[in-house]
């Protein structure tokens, strides 16, 4: 049962024996303190589609403080520019260990860095709990751990975890997503670890578990939840936790996170899966455009120069590119090459794809010409990131590989870490933060602790 609901019941029963009026006051105070919401209490539900929540005109126009994160933060999935690029252009020596911290529980969420804090999610299967953890990004010391859900863990793939969604920070709040009790729950926690609100955003029937990350943009947190039941995309207000709108998607499993792009100066939220690539308007969830795409996808597409680069979980759908430069989206090219889990990476000139089986491709983005395709070994779930002129990837056995970005294949450096790497690293101010299945490593610039 989600923690906020459990606490509400504890508060209710603790005042048994008092008058009915006292009981009502206690319930109201508990509700207001934790802000737990359900879809039925958030907005108007469509009469023709029970899953659809109609846009709330008040919530869409209500003021919210601007997102305050800097270029030296890694505030959400894929970093500050949402493209897995480190803002620091200097090279990192991955052989230099600054600190190592043992981690409680298990999770595959990527490190998020905001100021001197680093955030991760974790799950303890024995305790049936899901938590948010804050560490000191300078020393690796754990500052606090907040349990957000107790019990309610559901079926997942053995490779997945119950804490695979990367958190997002807006400068004041940390947003977490967990699959719990057959629903997706979005929680807002302040920087001291206090729960501000918690919302059940929508139902979720698990096939392999959940791993999509929240997307923070303007006033909203966007949550995508493709599943074997009824899939959906929703916008939740950052301040209140109220569901502003929710739209249905075809019911079939897929695992991609929502992606933010800009077309002709207008922001759009893109979802990949169910044989379509679809763009939605952030204000109300209306469809902007769509084009044929992968049957299902795990990775987040890369967007640059009016082009979307995607992968899929089948060889038939393969990897490809879509152009948005004309009025109607069109496919530029497609290769029947399976690259399932790692997200593609665009370095400003070329695009790179990492196959799960340990093969890396460098592709010319406009033509789709494969410039090189080389095996680096291992199996991969983590996505590549660009640090300076180098690409860093980590495999499921704990091996880090640094490649030279460019038209010629070159391995710059390798090293092994304890535990497997399934989470994508983060890079801030000359440091590389790498989460393994057992530990968190800080590599690169700085004195050893």
User: Which residues in the chain show pLDDT less than 70?
Assistant: 1-43, 47, 60-62, 448-449
Q: What is the pLDDT of residue 368?
A: 98
Q: Which residues neighbour 25 within 8 Å (Cβ) at sequence distance 6 or greater?
A: none
What's the fold here for domain 35-444?
Methylamine Dehydrogenase; Chain H (2.130.10)
Q: Find the Cα–Cα–Cα–Cα dihedral 314, 318, 324, 329, rounded to 10°.
A: -70
Q: What is the pLDDT of residue 66?
A: 94
Q: What is the pLDDT of residue 50?
A: 79
Residue 401 and residue 412: Cα distance in Å, rounded? 8
Q: What is the pLDDT of residue 71?
A: 86
pTM of the model: 0.90
Q: What is the pLDDT of residue 38?
A: 52
Q: Find the Cα–Cα–Cα–Cα dihedral 396, 184, 131, 141, rounded to 10°.
A: 60
% helix, strand, coil for the chain, step of 5:
10, 40, 50
**Are residues 150 and 129 in contact, defined by beta-carbon separation less than 8 angstroms?**
yes
Sheet holding 439-444, edge to edge: 97-102, 439-444, 431-435, 426-428
Handedness of CA 179, 182, 188, 190 (dihedral sign): negative
Q: What is the pLDDT of residue 67?
A: 96
Q: What is the pLDDT of residue 47?
A: 66
Radius of gyration of the chain (CA): 21
User: Which among 425, 422, 341, 338 has a CA at the least distance from the CA of 390?
Assistant: 425
User: Which pairs count as long-range contacts for 363-370, CB under 8 Å and 24+ apart, including other chains?
Assistant: 363/319, 363/335, 365/304, 365/305, 365/307, 365/309, 365/321, 366/307, 366/332, 367/332, 367/333, 368/320, 368/321, 368/332, 368/333, 368/334, 368/335, 370/335
Sheet holding 112-114, edge to edge: 112-114, 117-124, 129-136, 142-150
Handedness of CA 333, 337, 339, 344 (dihedral sign): negative
Q: What is the pLDDT of residue 81?
A: 96
């Amino acid at each position: 049962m989600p923690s906020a609901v459990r606490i509400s019941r504890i508060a209710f029963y603790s005042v048994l024996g008092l008058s009915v009026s006292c009981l009502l006051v206690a319930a109201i105070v508990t509700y207001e303190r934790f802000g737990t919401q359900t879809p039925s209490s958030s907005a108007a539900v469509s009469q023709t589609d029970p899953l659809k929540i109609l846009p709330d005109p008040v919530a869409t126009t209500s003021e919210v403080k601007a997102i305050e994160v800097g270029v030296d933060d890694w505030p959400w999935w894929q970093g500050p520019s949402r493209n897995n690029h480190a803002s620091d252009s200097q090279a990192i020596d991955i052989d230099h260990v600054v600190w190592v911290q043992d981690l409680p529980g298990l999770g595959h969420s990527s490190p998020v860095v905001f100021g001197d804090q680093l955030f991760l999610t974790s799950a303890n299967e024995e305790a049936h709990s899901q938590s948010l953890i804050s560490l000191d990004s300078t020393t690796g010391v754990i500052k606090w751990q907040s349990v957000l859900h107790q019990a309610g863990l559901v079926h997942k793939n053995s490779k997945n975890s119950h804490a695979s969604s990367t958190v997002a920070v807006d400068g004041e709040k940390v947003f977490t997503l967990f699959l719990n009790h057959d629903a997706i729950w979005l929680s807002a926690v302040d920087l001291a670890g206090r729960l501000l609100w918690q919302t059940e955003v929508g139902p979720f029937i698990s096939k392999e578990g959940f791993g999509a990350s929240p997307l923070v943009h303007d006033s909203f947190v966007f949550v995508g939840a493709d599943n074997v039941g009824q899939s959906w995309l929703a916008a939740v207000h950052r301040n209140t936790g109220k569901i502003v709108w929710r739209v249905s998607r075809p019911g079939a499993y897929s695992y991609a996170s929502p992606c933010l792009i800009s077309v002709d100066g207008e922001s759009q939220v893109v979802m990949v899966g169910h044989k379509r690539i679809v763009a939605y308007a952030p204000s109300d969830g209306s469809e902007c455009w769509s084009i044929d795409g992968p049957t299902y996808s795990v990775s987040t597409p890369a967007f640059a120069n009016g082009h979307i680069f995607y992968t899929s979980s089948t060889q038939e759908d393969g990897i490809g590119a879509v152009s948005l430069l004309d009025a109607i989206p069109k496919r530029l090219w497609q290769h029947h090459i399976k690259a399932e889990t790692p997200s593609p990476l665009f370095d400003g000139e070329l695009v790179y794809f990492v196959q799960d089986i340990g093969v890396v491709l460098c592709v010319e983005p406009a033509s789709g010409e494969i410039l090189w395709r080389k095996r680096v070994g291992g199996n991969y779930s983590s996505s590549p990131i660009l640090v300076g002129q180098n690409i860093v990837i980590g495999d499921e056995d704990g091996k880090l590989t640094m490649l030279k970005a460019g038209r010629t294949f070159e391995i710059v450096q390798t090293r092994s870490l304890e535990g497997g790497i399934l989470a994508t690293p983060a890079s801030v101010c000359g440091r590389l933060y790498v989460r393994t299945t057992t530990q968190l490593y800080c590599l690169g610039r700085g004195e050893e602790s």
